[in-house]
Structure 1
Amino acid sequence: MGILRRLEKLVTNSLVMPNAMPVTETWRFSGWSKDQLIERIVELENASSNNSKKHQNVSNDTPVAKRPKAFDFSKYNTRFIALKFAYLGWNYNGLAIQREVTPLPTVEGILVDILLKCKLIGSRNIQDFKFSRCGRTDKGVSAMSQVVSLKVRSNLTDEEQSDPVNDARELQYVNILNQLLPDDIRVSAVCLRPPKGFDARYSCQHRHYKYLFNKQGLDLGKMEEAAAFFDGEHDFRNFCKLDGSKQITNYNRKILSAKILHVTGDIYCFDLIGTAFLWHQVRCMMATLFLVGQGLEESSLIADLLDMSKTPQKPIYDMADDLPLILYDCKFPEMEWLSANSNEYKAIKYNKIVTALNLHYQLKATVAQIFTNSLTLKPDPNVDFSNKIRINLGDGTGKVVTKYAKMAERQVMESAETVNEKYRKRKKGKSLKL
């Protein structure tokens, strides 16, 4: 390499060295003698070598932080418990963990992450700790009394776990989880000794839902009359989303109670209790009640949709919005639920969090009302809206149509049997390709 090129390279490399020549300084290489150039090269090479050794010594002399030992879950006792918790659903992509990537987290995904962080479970695979949920809720749907059962780490031996006297020595599951969970997911109670053979899904005796709505523009009497048709055991295939992957053949579900109840002010709810529900069943039921309440359909619509001889296939219609739907309660056999001591500092602290969250949304609602009042315009009497119909879907916006088509005149979806058969064929075709 030429002397000048070698010197240029050393000057460039010196920019990352301490006490190096500033990049803005220029050398008049052409005015230097050969001896001067060689002397400067040696100086820069020595500086580079010393700097490298210095960094190497620092690296060698610096103690390496000890890695924390992996937590060996197998060395600890475990116990089977049930947890009761509540959540506001609008920030989550439903309850259940989903295999596909979604833009929003799921409630269970958050819960499992926290259980792992607390070292209460030893695996992300829910099958490893006998995880079971009571009622699966969709994106946007909230729950006030959701229940899961699972096996978790314990401070006590199997013998000690069976005696309530030792409960005070057990891990404080409620406080531990609430300390790390988001403010809109709260554990309310734990059952340390569920009944023998307990399963959060299969031991549930009934689920209680509430769908909130504003009474404006609705005939509550007609809705109450229509809701009564839901009582009893019926085939609800016309009130759900058909899913071939589940291969459901029995769509019979039993409704224990279906009523229209007042909540507060202009807000009412469709109060529904049943032993089990199909996918999107409540929202489909509510959509048809809205049509009856608006006078677009007769109360007998419900009876017709429940009668497979009259309506063997589901007419195409939009289901009600997800936000107003609440899984209000889940009924189980008699169980001993333990809540955090309300007098303890931690319990008071977590209650304050919920109170603050409530105030936060109250303030937002008030600001939104003031916003609405400031923008509300008087309708122009010269504009005719008589040829437009806004179908109530529970979200305040609804769906605007020029002409309403009666349910009996609409196109129908494929039958449940066809949906199942198509899925089986697709699955078989994929397996043959593999």
Structure 2
Amino acid sequence: MKVALKIGYEGTHFSGSQIQPDKRTVEGELLKALRETEVITDAEAANLSSSGRTDAGVHSISQVVTFFTDNPRMAIPRILNSKLPRDVWAWAYAEVPDGFDPRRHAIRRKYRYILNADEYDISKMREAAKLFIGEHNFSNFTKKDKKNPKSTIRKVEKLDVRSQGPVIKIDIVANAYLWNMIRKIVSALTLVGSGIRDTEWVTKMLDPENYEEGIEPAPAYGLIFLDVQYNPEPDWMIDSYAIKHVNDFYTKEANRFRVISTILEQFVMQPEKEQDLD
């Protein structure tokens, strides 16, 4: 039987989602948990597959993974979570047809990038974001693979930039993405938002046959894989206990990091405003 899981992970301490020799990965931790719960006994036969790979440091709320198992009753999120580390968890599962491919059958994927709002003109970023919507050649927004050249045409359905308190949230929806494409788009938006570049430059970047320029990707830690959609959608069974457990833990973590963030701000020295310690 083939089972699909929805999993989340906080990617800071992972070398990406895809399994790699001698590195800590999301798939590696998931395979350990599947073995320990005897959901699978043969990793090769299980044929673990995911809806997409994420780079080191990138996070996820709703990555979809599939595998074959002879013990589907144990493939329940709360059981697997008892063997998974804190920074990766399962929260929904479904039985799917043997031919279901979580990557190739996805019709759209949604990501969010979060960055500090203080540094950018959001109105300029929104104007630039409009240029990315639709079908374009994103050759200037990915690392070129000369040995295995692939089509760099992709269709962006939505690119929304909005301010929320101290941060800017950039939501992007597309059918598929190139390597580092989202993070390079974010870099372009920040260059426009900071006044270093303008919208005419973005237009040129989207015309790689006549203009080429390399661009560094935005840091991985700001990127979250939010959702992946299928048609038809698997009949997901939501594990409310697993969700509550994760929510409780990360609510406490968020509160802790708010305090840490405030403490770190105290380390920013301002000699011109030295305080009298007496």
Normalising by structure 2, report the TM-score: 0.91
Q: Distance in 1 between matches of 2:271 and 2:244?
A: 43
Q: Deviations over 1:164-216 (max 9, x none)?
A: xxxxxx33521220111111211010012x25631111111111010101111
Root mean square deviation of aligned Cα: 2.0
- The structure that is helix-richer by fraction is 1
Is the 1:134–1:148 Cα contact (8 Å) retained in structure 2? yes
Q: Tell me which of 227, 251, 259 is aligned to 1:358.
A: 251
Structure 2 equivalent of residue 307 of structure 1: 207
Q: Counterparts in 2 of 1:84-99, with a 5 A limit?
A: 84-99=6-21
2:217 counterpart of 1:298? no
Is the 2:162–2:168 Cα contact (8 Å) retained in structure 1? yes
Q: Deviations over 1:232-290 (max 9, x none)?
A: 11111110122345x1331111111111023x312111110000001111111111111
Q: Distance in 1 between matches of 2:43 and 2:94?
A: 22
Q: Counterparts in 2 of 1:20-35, with a 5 A limit?
A: none
Q: Distance in 1 between matches of 2:42 and 2:145?
A: 30
Q: Counterparts in 2 of 1:204-219, with a 5 A limit?
A: 204-219=106-121
Structure 1 equivalent of residue 86 of structure 2: 183
Structure of larger gyration radius: 1
Structure 1 equivalent of residue 237 of structure 2: 338
Q: Which moved more, 1:321-330 or 1:264-273?
A: 264-273
Structure 2 equivalent of residue 422 of structure 1: none
Q: Distance in 2 between matches of 1:219 and 1:119?
A: 53
Q: Counterparts in 2 of 1:215-364, with a 5 A limit?
A: 215-244=117-146, 247-262=148-163, 264-311=164-211, 313=212, 315-333=213-231, 334-340=233-239, 342=240, 347=241, 351-364=244-257
**CA shift at 1:367, angstroms?**
2.7
**CA shift at 1:368, angstroms?**
2.9
The residue type paired with residue 337 of structure 1 is W
Q: Tell me which of 19, 32, 47 is aligned to 1:113.
A: 32
Question: Kindly tell me: are residues 356 and 196 of structure 1, through their superposed partners in 2, closer, same or farther at Cα, counting changes over 3 Å?
Answer: closer
Identity %, equivalent residues: 29
Q: Deviations over 1:12-50 (max 9, x none)?
A: xxxxxxxxxxxxxxxxxxxxxxxxxxxxxxxxxxxxxxx
Task: Give the gaps of 5 or more residues in structure 2.
Answer: 274-278
Where do 4+ consecutive residues of structure 1 move more than 4 Å? none
Task: Give the gaps of 5 or more residues in structure 1.
Answer: 1-78, 156-169, 381-434
The residue type paired with residue 207 of structure 1 is R
Is the 2:109–2:175 Cα contact (8 Å) retained in structure 1? yes
Is the 2:17–2:55 Cα contact (8 Å) retained in structure 1? yes
**Per chain length, whose mean CA-contact separation is higher, i.e. which structure has more relative contact order (CA < 8 Å, sep 6+)?**
2
**CA shift at 1:339, angstroms?**
1.8
3-state DSSP of counterpart to 1:216: helix
3-state DSSP of counterpart to 2:255: helix
Is the 1:173–1:190 Cα contact (8 Å) retained in structure 2? yes
Question: Kindly tell me: are residues 190 and 358 of structure 1, through their superposed partners in 2, closer, same or farther at Cα, counting changes over 3 Å?
Answer: same
Q: Deviations over 1:304-352 (max 9, x none)?
A: 11112321x3x23322100010011111122210022x4xxxx27x733
**CA shift at 1:379, angstroms?**
5.0
Is the 1:84–1:148 Cα contact (8 Å) retained in structure 2? yes
3-state DSSP of counterpart to 1:120: coil
The residue type paired with residue 9 of structure 2 is Y
The residue type paired with residue 116 of structure 1 is R
- The structure that is strand-richer by fraction is 2
Q: Counterparts in 2 of 1:51-200, with a 5 A limit?
A: 79-99=1-21, 101-102=22-23, 105-125=24-44, 128-154=45-71, 170-171=73-74, 173-192=76-95, 194-195=96-97, 197-200=99-102
**CA shift at 1:374, angstroms?**
5.8
**CA shift at 1:375, angstroms?**
4.2
Q: Distance in 2 between matches of 1:174 and 1:326?
A: 21
Q: Distance in 1 between matches of 2:135 and 2:171?
A: 17
Is the 1:237–1:251 Cα contact (8 Å) retained in structure 2? yes
Question: Kindly tell me: are residues 217 and 195 of structure 1, through their superposed partners in 2, closer, same or farther at Cα, counting changes over 3 Å?
Answer: same
Pairs aligned (count): 272
Is the 2:12–2:57 Cα contact (8 Å) retained in structure 1? yes
3-state DSSP of counterpart to 1:257: strand
The residue type paired with residue 107 of structure 1 is V
Q: Distance in 1 between matches of 2:101 and 2:161?
A: 31
